Amino acid sequence: MKKLLDLQALRKNFGQQVVLNNINFSLATGEIIGLIGPSGAGKSTMIKTMLGMEKADDGEALVLNHRMPNRRILGELGYMAQSDALYETLSGLENMVFFAQMKGLTRAEIPEAIDHAAQVVDLSDHLNKSVAGYSGGMKRRLSLAIALLGNPKLLILDEPTVGIDPALRRKVWRELRQLKQDGVGILVTTHVMDEAELTDKVGLLLDGKIMAFDSPDNLKSTYAVNTIEDVFLKAEGELL
Ligand SMILES: Nc1ncnc2c1ncn2[C@@H]1O[C@H](COP(=O)(O)OP(=O)(O)OP(=O)(O)O)[C@@H](O)[C@H]1O
Ligand SMILES: [Mg+2]
């Protein structure tokens, strides 16, 4: 198994606040890792720092064996930020074409790639609508579809299923499992503990550190609880 992400002793401070305190973390091909932790724990910061969108204060982050920022590597992975970065005045389809071109898909590849990604998130019937008229969940779905374009080997998804209804959430997770079978590595943050149960490994970010990093089953037995939600609460010291 090849490492797609490799973080070594990564540190990030904002002023006096230590957000990432010596983070060691890796993700291999065919692995789905769920990153969980309380709001403000630093999940998005960890992602932005590894991608070079925030500058690390110490340590190293390799993404597809390269130090970031690296424009070419950014084009090779599927990244979905926590806040949607879409062109509101363009239609869903125009957004997808724009990002497909940015990722270097050829004119011949684009239509099929868009059809498939739009179908995964159930947006095929809304592609001609302007994004300004999309609901919050539709924007999330469009961002996810964009991340899937170009068959990236690595997906980094920051709360991809916020605002997505249960049926579609299942469909999205079926797609993620399928991508995993094809060898794609996936890092996904979530506050939905049912989703964390579907991952191969869960990383719990707390107080600037990865406090626990193991399969959902191992974590449950280590913490002697029945759900990942209880692992989370027990680690936080809030399980009564
Ligand atoms: N650009 C910034 N400048 C200053 N502080 C920041 C900045 N970005 C994040 N922070 C702080 O870093 C901490 C971690 O934020 P981050 O967004 O990474 O948390 P998170 O785990 O992704 O939370 P959530 O689950 O709410 O998305 C927070 O205390 C936040 O206020
Ligand atoms: Mg976040």
Report how many domains make up the chain: 1
Question: Domain limits at 136?
Answer: 3-239
Res. 239 pLDDT band, cuts 50 70 90: low
Residue 187 has pLDDT above 80, yes or no: yes
Residue 71 has pLDDT above 90, yes or no: no
Q: What is the mean pLDDT of the chain?
A: 95
Share of the chain above pLDDT 90, in %: 94
Model pLDDT, residue 69: 86
Answer positive or negative: Cα dihedral of 72, 83, 233, 168: negative
Cα separation of 74 and 54, whole Å?
14
Output the CA 22–ligand 2 centroid distance in Å: 19
Phi, psi dihedrals of residue 76, rounded to the nearest 5°: -95, -10
Cα separation of 236 and 46, whole Å?
19
Gyration radius from the chain CA atoms: 18
* Residue whose CB lies within 8 A of the most ligand 1 atoms, among 18, 20, 45, 190, for a mutation test: 45
Output the CA 230–ligand 2 centroid distance in Å: 21
Model pLDDT, residue 237: 87
Model pLDDT, residue 117: 96
- Domain CATH for 42: 3.40.50.300
Output the CA 177–ligand 2 centroid distance in Å: 23
Model pLDDT, residue 75: 86
Name the closest-CA residue to atom 16, ligand 1. 42
Ligand 1, residues at Cβ distance < 6 Å: 14, 19, 37, 39-45, 82
pLDDT in tens, 218-230: 999 999 999 999 9
Strand-pair partners of 77: 154
Name the closest-CA residue to atom 3, ligand 1. 14
Q: Are 31 and 180 in contact (CB under 8 A)?
A: yes
Model pLDDT, residue 226: 96
Model pLDDT, residue 240: 58
Cα separation of 236 and 199, whole Å?
21
Residue 6 has pLDDT above 70, yes or no: yes
Report, as an integer, the average pLDDT of 68-77.
89
Which bound ligand lies closest to the C-alpha atom of 81?
Answer: 2
* Residue whose CB lies within 8 A of the most ligand 1 atoms, among 11, 12, 14, 47, for a mutation test: 14
Residue 36 has pLDDT above 70, yes or no: yes
pLDDT in tens, 46-59: 999 999 999 999 99
Cα separation of 15 and 103, whole Å?
35
pTM above 0.85, yes or no: yes
Q: Other CB atoms closer than 10 Å to residue 230's CB: what's the count? A: 16
pLDDT in tens, 96-107: 999 999 999 999
Structure tokens given for 165: 């209804």
Cα separation of 118 and 143, whole Å?
10
Residue 1 has pLDDT above 90, yes or no: no
